[in-house]
Amino acid sequence: MVMNTHSNPRITLVGAGPGDPELISIKGMKAIQSADAILYDALAGKELLDYAPAHCTKLNVGKRGGCVSHQQSTINELLVHCARKYGHVVRLKGGDPFVFGRGYEEIIYTEQRGIPTTVIPGISSSISVPALEGIPLTVRGINESFWVTTATLSSGELSNDIKLAASSSATIVILMGLQKIQEIMEIFKRHGKQDVPVAVIQNGSLASQKVALGRVDTIVEEVLQQHMASPAIIVVGEVVKLHKKFESEFFIQMAMQASL
Amino acid sequence: MVMNTHSNPRITLVGAGPGDPELISIKGMKAIQSADAILYDALAGKELLDYAPAHCTKLNVGKRGGCVSHQQSTINELLVHCARKYGHVVRLKGGDPFVFGRGYEEIIYTEQRGIPTTVIPGISSSISVPALEGIPLTVRGINESFWVTTATLSSGELSNDIKLAASSSATIVILMGLQKIQEIMEIFKRHGKQDVPVAVIQNGSLASQKVALGRVDTIVEEVLQQHMASPAIIVVGEVVKLHKKFESEFFIQMAMQASL
């Protein structure tokens, strides 16, 4: 039985941003400064916990890749439990809480139990990580939209939406897709997109950020050669050509082919 | 002729976020604190200028809607001029600099003139404004992707990508589209989407934030009745049903129809 000891339980979902602890919002930082308890993700920077007051209880409820360390239902229960026990709970989530972050499910659960819950958006990796690697998602004259999806879904729907996106000018951003990159690139190939530039960016916004560049039919080999690992995002589209290294690699490749 | 007086000219493009001055990143705030000059947009919150040091020169180079008050070429030249004259220039842009923000064009221009330019991402309105209105862009079991596009191309035409997006399963976010909402909704109707929920959100993240809710075939009337104005974003997709007010309006409408 949960002891309902705190008179003012409340929850704030905070987007921690892509990883660099300075990419949290001022509002998010202030929420942490007033937290009595923090439940944080594997993807949220640990340095952010330093903003918390001394009395604050800190719990790691991280999930990473497909390895579920805490079931979503357990996290939901913990949120309610901690709010009733401690008062103001900050739920710190990597990126933005509402982009594949299951933030909505948490809000519904906690509000149905009478605990006021608010959201402070974060900088989503889907947009910021390409930017930090020098790849803008939209550029006048190149494209007019971008499409963000997750790889962990029924392949049928992925295929249909990729077909539509591939026919458009959209830059395609795929989150949590590294383990399925071969399968994903096969879908693009089936739509005649073997030459479209692709970037895979690991540890975006951190000092360890690295990138693999190629095209739909070469990126899998690049990823293997460079030992790319999760967390990583995949960017597919002509805008990838604007990456500084892409052009030089492209030219070196051309030069090598010419000398054969 | 530009006087090249400063020994260390540099430029930082900073995403100001959706409007609420506390939704800028800590890194963005620190950049402003060390700025010798700031060039800011109409959409960037004026309160952010208060972080600047006393000696900092502040220039409004805002564009809004289609009314160009400063040509992009003028902004580019001003950036270079100010960096050479003052030192550290912060280019403060509403939302994220790389989401329809022409940030890339500015970087190319300034770097080609030998001025080191870096980017600090911002919270994009495309994701955060729906979230602040209680609409998550993706929810398990409802949809698995979102597609962000702009309505107005430089040619004045409607983006062809809207037609493709309308056929997908994605939540669709349309920026700068309010003036063309009727035309856009006609596209969705032609794809049999007349019943899909739509939200139009004005002044996202500010105290004056307001929303109009409806469906593809009713939203234009709602927008007129509620006197919605730019800046506003349009969200089309089943996730809009999760908005608290949508459901009650939906039920009231059902009840009224039942009583006829």
> Is there a catalytic annotation at residue A256?
no
Nearest CA in chain A to B26: A22
pTM score:
0.89
CB pairs under 8 A between A and B: 175
Question: What is the spatial distance between Cα A32 and Cα A11, in angstroms, rounded to a whole number?
Answer: 11
Q: How confident is the model at residue B148 (pLDDT cuts 50, 70, 90)?
A: very high
What residues of chain B lie within 8 A of the CB of A100, using their CB? 138
**Residue A205, pLDDT above cutoff 90:** yes
- Strand order through the sheet with B37-40: B57-60, B37-40, B88-93, B10-15, B117-120
Residue A190 has a pLDDT of 87
Hey, which residues does B145 pair with through a beta bridge? A149
Question: Hey, are the CB atoms on A26 and B30 less than 8 Å from each other?
Answer: no
Annotated active-site residue in B20, B93, B96, B176: B176
Alpha carbons A253 and A222: distance in angstroms, whole number: 13
pLDDT at A1 over 60: no
pLDDT-based confidence at residue A3 (cuts at 50, 70, 90): low
Marked catalytic residue, from A29, A30, A58, A63:
A63
Q: Which of A94, A26, A130, A114 is nearest to B121 (CA)?
A: A130
Which residue of A lies nearest to B175 if distances are taken between CA atoms? A145
Beta-carbon neighbour count of residue A254 at 10 Å?
Answer: 10
Query: What local confidence, expressed as pLDDT, does residue A260 receive?
Result: 45
Reported ipTM: 0.89
The pLDDT confidence band at residue B43, using thresholds 50, 70 and 90, is confident
B254 is catalytic: no
For residue A246, CA distances in Å to A208, A212, A240, B34, B63 come to: 19, 9, 7, 32, 32
**Confidence at residue A141, expressed as pLDDT on a 0 to 100 scale:** 84
Annotated catalytic residue within B30, B63, B85, B189? B63
Q: What is the mean pLDDT of residues A183-208?
A: 93
Q: Is the dihedral of CA B21, B27, B29, B35 positive or negative?
A: negative
Region label for A95, one of left (φ > 0), alpha (ψ between -120 and 50) or beta (otherwise): left
In angstroms, the separation between the Cα of residue A255 and the nearest Cα of chain B is 24
On chain B, the residues whose CB falls within 8 A of the CB of A148 are 145-148
Averaged pLDDT for residues A66-86: 84
Q: Is the confidence at residue B182, as pLDDT, over 50?
A: yes
Reported as type and span, the H/E element at residue B72 is helix B72-86
B152/B203 Cα distance (integer angstroms): 19
A96 a catalytic residue: no
From chain A, the residues in CB contact with B167 under 8 A are 164
Q: Which of B222, B176, B182 is nearest to B199 (CA)?
A: B222
Write the pLDDT tens digit of every residue in A105-164: 899 899 999 999 999 999 999 999 999 999 999 988 888 899 999 876 555 666 677 778
Contacts of B124 in chain A (CB under 8 A): 124, 127
Using the beta-carbon criterion (under 8 Å), do B147 and A144 form an inter-chain contact? no
Contact A161, A187 (CB under 8 A): no
Summarize the confidence of residues B98-121 as an average pLDDT: 91
